[in-house]
Every structure is written in C-alpha cells, then in structure tokens.
C-alpha cells in the first residue's frame, strides 16, 4: 500500500497534466473581406477560425453564451493577434460593429471547429476624385491596414487571407502587389470583382485603384445621399421640432 499510493498519485497527476495539455482553443486562420462601395466607406467582415479540443468545448460554449464578454476577453481566451479590426482609418471611425461567436462543429476524435465573426463599417477607407462627368476614381488608403508591423512596413499575418471586393460595374485600373487570385487575362485585365492576397504578403507599397461610372439616376441618388449624410443631424432636429409643434397644436386644440 505504501508503494501503491504514491504510484496512484503519480498516475492521477499525469492524467491531470495530460488533460491540461489537451485543453486548448487555437486560432488557426483569419479571413478579412473588405466590401468597397461607391463611397469612402467600406463594409468589413473578419472571420477567425478556431480549433477547439474536446476538453475545451464546454468552456467555449459557456464563453459563447456569456454576452458580457468583450473583444479583449476573447483575445485572452484564444491568445491570438487575429481578433482585432485589421482595416480601419486611424483618422476615421467605425460604426455598426457586431461580433458573433459561431457554434462548435465536431471534426474527428480530437475536437472540432468554430468561427468568430466581426463585421463593421469603416469610414474614410478610400479617396475619391471625379475624373469626368459621373466618372469617379477610388484609391484604397493603405494606411487603413492594421496587420503585422515590420521594419519595412506592414505585411499580412501568417495564415491570413485579405480580399477586396469592388461594386459591380466598376473597373480596376491598377493594383500592387498583384493579387494571388485571380490571374490577369491575356490583355492584362481582371474578369472578377474580388481580389485576394494570402499569408505574408507585404503591404507597405499596397495600391488599389478602381473607377466607376454612374448613370444619371445613380448620380441623383448619390447626391441626395450625400446631402442626407452631411445634414442628417439637422434633418433629425427639424423632424423633432415638427413633431413637438404638432403635439403642442393638438394639445391646445383638445384641452383648451
């Protein structure tokens, strides 16, 4: 018994340490998709894929249901640089931010996968110049990247994919470095609206320029959208004032 008890304790300690080793949540891959628009605002969707060991499934599901967890809390859970906004202008702003931890999907005997998805609107991502009537040139602002900072500039993180998607009907004028997908056609053009760069791509000299031509109807709509976005605070104030005046008028008519 004197020999058996230490042996049992050692076995239990070994099992305990093995369980701790097997319990982990690893971030395995990041995809960032930037939906460019006919404005200076872009919609960004970032998806972080996780591998979760069987011993950590309960922990992940509990964290997923804990709505009080912040992005910083999730960064501590997965210990990865993936879970930050990678496309935003430091001189601009972010709006309509959402964060969604996805369900656990079993895969094999050791664990399974889940995804953490961030989406947001990033403002002042592109610069725009009118080059002809109803024709506008948009250039991506490379200072909006927030990836791996190196001595030579920024580059994509390992196990990362960056995709820029342009609106339909637009034409890419210049792009550097050449995207990993798609390839140029025989005349040096791209028959695609999505352009992707893979892990480790240097971004310090990144350039992406596309041109769009608006129809007269689109030009009118865009003009009024610009006016609305510029003066929406005053519009809301005017609507509120009108409602107050109507309420006051009804009060006077009914109670006096």
Q: What is the pLDDT of residues 197-256, one digit of tens each?
A: 999 899 989 999 999 886 655 555 555 555 655 565 666 677 878 888 887 777 777 766
Q: Is the pLDDT of residue 163 over 90?
A: yes
Q: What is the pLDDT of residues 139-148, one digit of tens each?
A: 999 999 999 8
pLDDT band (50, 70, 90) for residue 7: very low
* Burial state string for 32-49 with b = 16 or more CB within 10 A and e = fewer than 16: bbbbbbbbbbbbbbbbbb
Q: What is the pLDDT of residue 34?
A: 97
pLDDT band (50, 70, 90) for residue 159: very high
Cis (ω within 30 of 0) for the bond into 182?
A: yes
Q: What is the pLDDT of residue 184?
A: 81
| Both structure tokens of 75 | 């960064």
CATH class belonging to 24-213: mainly beta
Q: What is the pLDDT of residue 45?
A: 98
The angle at the Cα of 91, spanning 199 to 33, to the nearest 5 degrees, equals 30
Q: Is the pLDDT of residue 8 over 80?
A: no
Residue 229 CA to chain centroid, in angstroms?
A: 23
What percent of the chain is modeled with pLDDT above 70?
81
Burial of 7 (0-12, 13-18, 19+ CB in 10 A): exposed
Q: What is the pLDDT of residue 44?
A: 97
Q: Is the pLDDT of residue 17 over 50?
A: no
Query: Where is pLDDT greater, at 113 or 186?
Result: 113
- Give the mean pLDDT of 4-30: 54
Q: What is the pLDDT of residue 228?
A: 59
Q: Of 1-5, 7-11, 37-41, 162-166, give the range with the top mean pLDDT.
A: 162-166
Q: Is the pLDDT of residue 6 over 70?
A: no
Q: Of 16-20, 95-99, 191-195, 251-255, give the range with the top mean pLDDT.
A: 95-99
Q: What is the pLDDT of residues 49-65, one digit of tens each?
A: 999 999 999 999 999 88
Q: Where are the domains of the chain?
A: 24-213, 215-256
Q: Is the pLDDT of residue 79 over 60?
A: yes
């Amino acid at each position: 018994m004197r020999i058996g008890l230490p042996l049992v304790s050692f076995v239990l300690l070994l099992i305990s340490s093995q369980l701790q080793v097997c319990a982990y949540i690893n971030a395995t891959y990041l995809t960032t998709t930037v939906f460019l628009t006919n404005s200076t605002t872009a919609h960004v969707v970032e998806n972080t894929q996780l591998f979760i060991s069987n011993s950590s499934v309960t922990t992940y599901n509990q964290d997923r249901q804990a709505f009080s967890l912040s992005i910083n809390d999730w960064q501590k859970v997965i210990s990865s640089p993936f879970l930050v906004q990678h496309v935003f202008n430091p001189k601009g702003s972010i709006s309509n931010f959402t964060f969604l931890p996805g369900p656990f999907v079993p895969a094999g005997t050791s664990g399974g996968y889940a995804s953490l998805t961030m989406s947001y609107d990033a403002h002042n991502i592109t610069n725009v110049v009118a080059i002809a009537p109803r024709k506008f040139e948009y250039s991506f602002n490379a200072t909006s990247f927030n990836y791996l900072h190196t001595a030579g500039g920024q580059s994509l993180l390992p196990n990362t994919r960056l995709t820029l998607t342009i609106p339909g009907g637009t034409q890419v004028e210049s792009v550097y470095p050449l995207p990993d997908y798609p390839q140029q056609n025989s005349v040096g053009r791209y028959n695609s609206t999505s352009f992707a760069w893979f892990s480790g791509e240097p971004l310090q000299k990144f350039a992406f320029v596309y041109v769009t031509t608006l129809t007269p109807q689109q030009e009118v709509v865009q003009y009024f959208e610009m006016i609305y976005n510029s003066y929406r605070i005053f519009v809301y104030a005017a609507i509120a004032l009108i409602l107050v005046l109507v309420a006051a008028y009804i009060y006077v008519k009914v109670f006096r």
